[in-house]
Structure 1
Amino acid sequence: MASFVPHSTLVLTGDDVRTLDAHRLGWLLDDAVDRGIGDVIAEVDDVPQALIDAVLARDLRLLVGVTCFHEHGEVTFSAESARRPIGADGKPRERIEWYVGLLPTDHRVVAEIVARCARLAAVPGVSGLVLDFIRWPLHWELEQREDGRRTPAASYDLVTLGDFSDRTGIRVPTDPAEAATELMGVHAERWRRYRAETITHLVRLIADLAHDSGIHLGAFVVPITPEEVGQDVRAWEGFVDVLYPMTYHAILHLEPEWVGDVVASLRQCVSTPVVPVIQLTASAEYSGGWDWGNEIPPADIDAALRGAGSSASAAFFPGTAIRELPRLATPQPEKTRR
């Protein structure tokens, strides 16, 4: 299979796809083409044929975002069918805003994700999958702010603790508080590696599935210390085709120039293509009322784009706010199709 050459990318949520009628979708995609967009990521569990037709009719490439360890509207796990992350206090991790994390050690959830990826990879017209929420539980957009509460991206439930012991030979207490003390202390490095290996194993499995189907695999990456959530991007090199760091500067209360710092850091440690996801707006019109930080002036978008690099591609979120993107001559590599 030919190597994946990423283009500048429009990122659409499942809600975007469900609420855009044919006219508005066509207008959005036409505007995207005019602005140099070549790829569309749509985060859906079932790909509408109308979306496929509209994207391909404009000679764009369709990638499907796959929601992994987050309970969402289209795939909901009840208390009986999915375990909740357990904190050091022995209590289930609280919902934060819209975010409800699921466990990478929950075999029922993992099996559903793999089955969904296999089904989506077989859809004609899909050029790739992009894994989202492929991490241990953390609502990083709020928890990684400078004033965030920084709950550890881990779980001290009995199944996870037992799996850790089985795979490492290290026995830890079953009491969550005692286990957390040991795992964040004397066993911290092995605990970090265990969580990363758990994620990497699934990413490799899905990469093999995607590549066997003739399509590519990407992953959304937490922009601050991705290793904290088990995202070992170095270990993914060779089977993940593109990284999309979620550089939402306004949500994190950071300056737009920070985007360039994230991109430079990733490009120094991996040869995998890096496509930063640039936040276009914080308006409640797009955020649904959630805290996306302060509004973003056009000059900040320009600064974030400069951070992506003059010869590189960028992705834009939310895609429905594409009108906020300055009409720049976005550099585009020669297109490589499936």
Structure 2
Amino acid sequence: MTKATFVFSNDLDLLDSAKELGFDTLFIGHQNLTPVWITKAKKLNFTVNVEVGVFAGENLWNKYPDARPLTKDGSPLPIVEWYAGVNPLSLSVWHEKFEDIRNVITGYNIDGIWLDFMRFPCHWEVENPELFDTDFSPTTLEIFKSDTGESMPVGETWWQWKCDIITNYVRQVRGLINELNPETKLGLFAVPWTPKDFDNAIHKIICQDFKSLSELVDVFSPMTYHAMCNREATWIGDACEYFSQFGKPLLPLIQTENKPREISPADFITSIEQAEKYSAGVTIFFLDDVIKQPEKVEVIRKIW
């Protein structure tokens, strides 16, 4: 079983903490990679998977005029708390992120690339997310009409077209990996919704088509943050069971932060056990937080 954790910092001391707690796999954001960090991680025999966030970030809104999506009424997508969703039809954004992925693969001794925010916008990590259908910019609508022959962006033709946009980007990354280093794993941080959630928002709003994506990725990582979504820990098992139908190994993420409610040691144990039922392993999200909570550290020691 894979025993993974996500680190937000490239603090070298965190590597020692991860090793001492029995982790064998690390996730780190590509912006935090350094030669010194990767050298030490490999010296400690960690598998290293690198997260690349794609369609998110207010900095991209400021950098590229077409990066901020438009909603159905023609208004710019609002920021929701920390989240600024980016328009996947912005080729300027995509070209920048594609080069980021290329540079990570060619520049570092890594084991996997995990795509994050590879979707249309939604701040989903809450109990009742606000769902915005995007992108209704004139340029996007022209492309939609050219691709489909339809002038009205409605119904299944509209959302399936948007799903195909996302799938095609993942296909490009798959091709890049096959070209540069075929042994590199390709993973996807997946929104843990089924078609029954929020009137099929996983397809209509977020536009992640897991059946199609399963032909391209090596691993799905459902982001099963149960407390943020105000779900019981058993929901994690239900979500992983749903993803198991797509025939790929699962490496779900388990929330450690007491946000917006406390996650007790018992709840934390149940979360891990639920994730393990259908998965190839578990990713503790995140190490920087969990080491500040002695009771959760003890859970990890006992389980692993």
Q: Do they superpose with TM above 0.5?
A: yes
Residue aligning to 2:188 = 219
CA distance in 1 between partners of 2:185 and 2:21 (Å): 24
Residue aligning to 1:9 = 4
Residue aligning to 1:276 = 252
TM-score normalized by the length of structure 1: 0.80
Q: Shift of the alpha carbon at 1:126?
A: 1.3
Structure 1 runs not aligned, ≥5 long: 1-5, 173-178, 283-291, 331-338
Q: 2:266 aligns with which of 299, 303, 311?
A: 299
TM-score normalized by the length of structure 2: 0.88
CA distance in 1 between partners of 2:55 and 2:23 (Å): 29
Residue aligning to 1:190 = 157
CA distance in 2 between partners of 1:321 and 1:115 (Å): 31
CA distance in 1 between partners of 2:241 and 2:250 (Å): 9
Name the SS of the counterpart of 1:163 in structure 2: helix
Q: Shift of the alpha carbon at 1:130?
A: 0.5
Structure 2 runs not aligned, ≥5 long: 195-201
Counterpart contact for 2:249–2:280, Cα < 8 Å:
no
Does 2:39 align with 1:53? yes
Q: Shift of the alpha carbon at 1:163?
A: 1.3
Name the SS of the counterpart of 1:315 in structure 2: strand
Q: Shift of the alpha carbon at 1:80?
A: 4.5
Aligned residues: percent identity?
Answer: 27
Residue aligning to 2:212 = 235
Residue aligning to 1:328 = 302
Q: Shift of the alpha carbon at 1:242?
A: 0.7
Residue range with higher mean Cα deviation, 56-65 or 232-241: 232-241
Residue range with higher mean Cα deviation, 226-235 or 88-97: 226-235
CA distance in 2 between partners of 1:168 and 1:123 (Å): 39
Residue range with higher mean Cα deviation, 242-251 or 30-39: 30-39
Q: Shift of the alpha carbon at 1:213?
A: 2.2
CA distance in 2 between partners of 1:119 and 1:79 (Å): 20
CA distance in 1 between partners of 2:254 and 2:215 (Å): 25
Q: 2:92 aligns with which of 98, 108, 131?
A: 108
Task: Indicate the RMSD between aligned Cα atoms, in angstroms.
Answer: 1.9
- Structure 1 segment 1-338 matched on structure 2, within 5 A: 7-13=2-8, 16-17=9-10, 20=11, 25-26=12-13, 28-45=14-31, 47-71=33-57, 76-78=60-62, 80-142=64-126, 145=127, 147-152=128-133, 154-172=134-152, 183=154, 188-214=155-181, 215-225=184-194, 226-227=202-203, 228-267=205-244, 269-282=245-258, 292-309=259-276, 312-323=280-291, 324-325=296-297, 326=299, 327-330=301-304
Q: Shift of the alpha carbon at 1:66?
A: 0.2
CA distance in 2 between partners of 1:211 and 1:139 (Å): 32
